[in-house]
Amino acid sequence: MSHNRAPTDYWGHVSTQDYDHELRSEQRYVDGLYARLDAERARVKGRYSDALGAPVDRMDGGTLVARDVEVRALAKQAARLEVADGGLCFGRLDSVTGERSYIGRIGILDEDKEPLLLDWRAPAARAFYIATAATPEDMRLRRQFHTRGRRIVDFTDEVLGRPSGDERGDAALLAAINAPRGEGMRDIVATIQAEQDEIIRSDHLGVMVIEGGPGTGKTVVALHRVAYLLYTQRKRMERHGVLVIGPNPAFLDHIGRVLPSLGESDVVFMTVGDLVPGLRTTAEEADEVARLKGSLKMLDVLAAAVADRQRLPKDPLPIELSDVTVRIDAETAEWAREEARTSDKPHNEAREVFAEIITYVLTERAIARIGKGWLTRDDRDAWEQLRTNLIDELADHAAFAAALDELWPKLTPQTLLAELYSSPERLRAARADEVLYRADGDAWTVSDVPLLDELVDLLGRDRTADDRAARERNAEAAYAAGVLDLLVSREDLMDDEDHLLAQDLIYAEDLAERFIERDTRELVERAAADRDWTYGHVVVDEAQELSEMDWRVLMRRCPSRSFTVVGDLAQRRSAAGATAWDAMLEPYVPGRWVYRSLSVNYRTPAEIMTVAAALLAEFAPDIRPPDSVRASGVMPWSRRVTDDELPGAVEEFVDDEAQREGTSVVIGPPDVPGAVLPSDTKGLEFDAVLVVDPDRILATGPRGAAELYVALTRATQRLGVLYRDRLPAALSGLA
């Protein structure tokens, strides 16, 4: 196989003159693609402007909706065309029959609908990623462009189907790997490898688990898989959007540009802590508490905590009516409670059942006393009239409302959980472990989020606001119907062309829509603000950190159970996280999940991975480290410093790296100035990494070794270690 920075014929002969000629020829072809892209972009923008400028004063409800749909669709199309400008075409395939295909970010057709550029996700483009010397896929040449803006800087040719050299041409790949890191993750659309492509193009519609060690590209593969699914199943997925769950905001910022760069914008990025809209998590959680809160045992605790708020009165509660005083006793409340509980309604909705039973008993008792001696059930009209009067009186009765609030209060998830945590008595009543106690009940942690989300379903909603909104909508529809009746009643309606024609009249509901403020937010904004939004697909990164309760939340967000799950069990930090994938997934998708692994490390050079692998062998001997695809030629180092020397050594590293192109980071325990925690760097990558006090990272808890493993494998070029007390034995291989 040949890897040349100059063009090659099929026998490997090259020349500088041929190279320059080929480069100019390819540039002309790409210029033509950009000309078509610009023309299409101008056409779409023109249609978008026309749609926005369409007069709305003569549109009915249906036309307005259609206009809004068209505007949104054109806006998305324009956005996809906009991102295609960067690296529009990144290669060419020549078949053994001499046919040429160009591969790029989007598909472009000529006037006869023949492809000038193949979308990288199209089946015909797959050979660009999987063809090798051993399995050429009927291809003879793969050419990969290196571009800057709209200009081709150079290209690399790989002759396929000849049994020489490696199976995969890595010149373009290694160029991308060795390039300095920027502020965010880059897409790999031009350098997808065969094992990655197989995962990206899988048609499995259930849950796919992608496991791989550091640097295997599992995150970016998952994001490209989303782009592929949106390409092949857009109608099914686009309406609901995609949810991407990551470990922290820095990680989400890091990966946030990948999907937009591939033309996909209907994607919501969140951490688990963001899954309850409007909630802010600040407090830290001890491992013991996090493990308990992440366990399914909390389902019984929550159910018991709700049941504890459905009380019976210790003494009868008097309700003084106009003509008689009645009492809510324990026997009546117990009957009402049983009826409400067996209704299978959430707590707040079941309160209506509870109130109906109590109301029935009180009115029966009141009628019997008021009508004693003169009223019988045979006098049905008088009996029911008296009942109606009593029900109306109870509806506005402050003492009755207070009694209902005492026996069956309306609850919010935050109120119930905060009062549970801050009350030893309530914890005992819910048969909960006392470690859950905290004085500040609403100092929310990430571990509280799935519990609060669970309580949304257990409690239901207070329907008062919903009923008020429904009454307003009905009133608007009634008003519109009245207007419609007036229009129809006009005698000259059918005769005078200057007046409204009958077939032009709209339904009252459509007219009412004209009075309702439209929700003009984009899908991403609407989905992020709506706890009940369901997504077409969910990506879960660093999935080994999620608890059993976390998975319940995510499964509610995606009823179709379409997931791409990304993780590495060896890097698990959370005490409540996964120890095996089947334990987390089998309860929800039995037999509907598949496992795929990535074995090649594209990020970490062999010199650094050797050090990290020695640590991995100590704490996870059954897990094989990924094989690094390259060596950097730079040996990682360690240096012992005193307490006084440490600040200067850190500053020296920072100053040295500031003179280089790329990114760097200092990772260490919380009290190291300028250092970030290992957990804050999960999923991130840097050109240079300085790890401080590795022995103290190891000592942070049961998963300290995993934390150190994460820290050591963030570097793409250079790794240094500063230690004060001792260097852990596993790192003895450091220079």
Q: Nearest CA to 177 among 709, 628, 627? A: 628
The reported pLDDT for the residue numbered 166 is: 41
Higher local confidence (pLDDT), 144 or 533 = 533
Res. 450: pLDDT tops 60: yes
Find, among 555, 577, 573, 582, the residue nearest to 683 by Cα. 573
With contact defined as beta carbons under 8 Å apart, do 721 and 638 qualify? yes
Average pLDDT, integer, range 10-16: 48
Confirm or deny that 219 is annotated as ligand binding. Answer: yes
Q: Where are the beta strands (DSSP E) in 182-272?
A: 207-212, 242-245, 267-270
Res 183: pLDDT: 54
Confidence grade of residue 134 (pLDDT, cut at 50, 70, 90): low
What is the rounded distance in angstroms from the CA atom of residue 489 to the CA atom of residue 483?
Answer: 10
> Please, which pLDDT band fits residue 4 given cuts at 50, 70 and 90?
very low
Residues 674-716: tens digit of each pLDDT: 899 998 898 788 999 999 999 999 998 778 899 999 999 999 9
Does the pLDDT value for residue 518 go beyond 80?
A: no
Q: Is 482 annotated as a binding residue?
A: no
Tokens 């991407």: give the residue: 244
Please tell me what DSSP assigns to residue 723: E
> Bridge-partner residues for 735, per DSSP?
none
Q: Hey, what are 146's tokens? A: 């290196």
pLDDT band at 467 (very low <50, low <70, confident <90, very high): low
pLDDT at 443: 94
Q: Which two tokens stand for residue 561?
A: 């159970």
Q: Considering only residues 484 and 34, tell me which one the structure prediction assigns the higher pLDDT.
A: 34
The whole-angstrom separation of Cα 163 and Cα 8 is 17
3-state secondary structure 76-100: HHHHHHHHCCCCCEEEEEEECCCCE
DSSP state string for 558-622? -TT--EEEEE-GGG---TTS-S-HHHHHTTTSTT-EEEEEE-EESSS-HHHHHHHHHHHHHH-TT
The alpha carbon dihedral of 106, 107, 109, 115 has a sign of positive
* Res. 24 pLDDT band, cuts 50 70 90: very high
Collapsing DSSP to helix, strand or coil, 140 comes out as strand
The answer to whether the annotation marks 218 as part of a ligand binding site is: yes
Low-confidence winner among 24-28, 475-479, 484-488, 596-600 (lowest mean pLDDT): 484-488
Q: How many residues does the chain have?
A: 735
Question: Given this model, what pLDDT does residue 84 score?
Answer: 79
249 Cα distance to chain centroid: 12
pLDDT digits (tens, 9 = 90+) for 148-170: 889 998 888 878 764 343 434 45
Q: Give residue 165's pLDDT.
A: 37
User: SS in 3 state form for 655-670?
Assistant: HHHHCCCCCEEEECCC
Instruction: Name which of 19-33, 379-393, 516-530 the model is least confident about.
Output: 516-530
SS3 269: strand
Q: Is 161 annotated as a binding residue?
A: no
User: What is d(CA 431, CA 477) in angstroms, rounded to the nearest whole number?
Assistant: 50
- What is the full DSSP assignment across 668-706? --TTSTT-B-GGGGTT--EEEEEEE-HHHHHTTSTTHHH
Top mean-pLDDT range of 37-46, 162-171, 494-503: 37-46
Residue 404 has pLDDT above 90, yes or no: yes
pLDDT at 132: 67
Averaged over 252-279, what is the pLDDT?
83
Tokens representing 400 are: 């009755």
Query: Which of helix, strand or coil describes residue 347?
Result: helix
First to last CA, the chain: 37
11-20, 382-391, 516-525, 540-549 — which is least confidently predicted?
Answer: 11-20
Specify which residues 243 forms β-bridges with.
268, 538
Domain boundaries along the sequence of the chain = 16-201, 202-310+408-487+503-598, 311-407, 606-731
| Residue 372 labeled ligand binder | no
Whole-prediction pTM value? 0.75
Residue type, 366: A
| Tokens encoding 507 | 């339904």
- Angle between helix axes 606-619 and 704-712 (nearest 10 degrees) is 170
216 is annotated as contributing to ligand binding: yes
Of the pLDDT bands very low, low, confident and very high (cuts 50, 70, 90), residue 203 is: confident
What per-residue confidence (pLDDT) applies to 697? Answer: 94
Q: Is the pLDDT of residue 546 over 80?
A: yes
* Closest by CA position to 666, among listed 679, 655, 677: 677
Architecture field, domain 606-731: 3-Layer(aba) Sandwich (3.40)
Mean of pLDDT over the chain: 84
**pLDDT, mean of residues 236-241:** 82
Three-class SS state of 199: helix
More confident residue, 700 or 346: 346
pLDDT at 523: 83
Coil, strand, or helix at residue 728?
Answer: coil
For the ranges 242-246, 271-275, 339-343, 368-372, which has the lowest average pLDDT? 368-372
Give residue-wise pLDDT tens across range 100-114.
999 988 899 999 999
Alpha carbons 152 and 660: distance in angstroms, whole number? 26
Over residues 42-53, the pLDDT tens digits come to 999 888 888 877
Q: How far apart are CA 116 and CA 24, in angstroms?
A: 18
Q: Contacts for 677-680 with beta carbons within 8 Å, 24 or more apart?
A: 678/573, 678/707, 678/708, 678/710, 678/711, 679/247, 679/248, 679/573, 679/707, 679/710, 680/248, 680/250
Give the confidence band of 475 by pLDDT, cuts at 50, 70, 90.
low
Confidence category of residue 274, pLDDT binned at 50, 70, 90: very high
Query: Which three-class secondary structure state does DSSP give residue 150?
Result: coil
Average pLDDT over residues 32-38: 94
